[in-house]
């Protein structure tokens, strides 16, 4: 099975840590969102969209990629890191996937070190995250959805 993970990771590379750990264990193609137009998304059986959370949603670069390049009827999954965990963070990316008739096979989110806005004043939140346990859980999530 050919797997593509398109990601955007900014500030502390929280999300990049997850996708790179998965890529070390599994045969996946990692593409930063700014390079996503150079990939033929149709060549892949499974597509992952990964991002930190910005203003309670996936980064705009990931949302734009999904709108422009996600083919119809693909199997997709979502990965994200966030300062504070909420179940609603996938809503915006899920709407796009639904509009493309994608089959959503799962999502994984975990805390990520966050120093955005007012969190900077207190030295950030979710310090030390994602940690080894978070990364192992992301790898397990990926293995489970591919198995």
Q: What is the pLDDT of residue 91?
A: 94
Those residues whose C-beta lies under 8 Å from the C-beta of residue 24, and which sit 6 or more positions away, are none
Domains (ranges, CATH) in the chain? 3-146 (3.40.50.360)
Q: From first to last of the 147 residues of the chain, give the pLDDT tens digit.
A: 999 999 998 776 789 999 999 999 889 999 999 999 999 999 999 999 999 888 889 999 999 999 999 999 999 999 999 867 777 889 999 999 999 999 999 999 987 756 566 656 556 655 767 899 999 999 999 999 987
The beta strands (E) that lie in 18-132 are given as 29-32, 46-54, 57-58, 75-82, 103-111
Q: What is the pLDDT of residue 112?
A: 73
Tell me the whole-structure pTM to 2 decimals.
Answer: 0.91
């Amino acid at each position: 099975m050919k797997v593509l993970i398109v990601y955007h990771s900014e500030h502390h590379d929280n999300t990049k840590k997850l996708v790179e750990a998965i890529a070390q264990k599994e045969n996946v193609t990692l593409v930063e969102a700014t390079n996503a137009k150079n990939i033929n998304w149709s060549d892949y059986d499974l597509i992952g969209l990964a991002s930190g959370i910005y203003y309670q949603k996936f980064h705009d670069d990931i949302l734009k990629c999904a709108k422009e390049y996600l083919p119809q009827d693909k199997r997709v999954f979502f990965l994200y890191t966030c300062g504070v965990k909420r179940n609603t963070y996938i809503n915006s990316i899920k709407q796009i996937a639904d509009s493309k008739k994608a089959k959503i096979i799962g999502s994984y989110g975990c805390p990520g070190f966050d120093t955005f806005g007012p969190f900077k004043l207190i030295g950030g939140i979710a310090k030390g995250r994602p940690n080894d346990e978070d990364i192992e859980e992301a790898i397990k999530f990926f293995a489970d959805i591919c198995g």
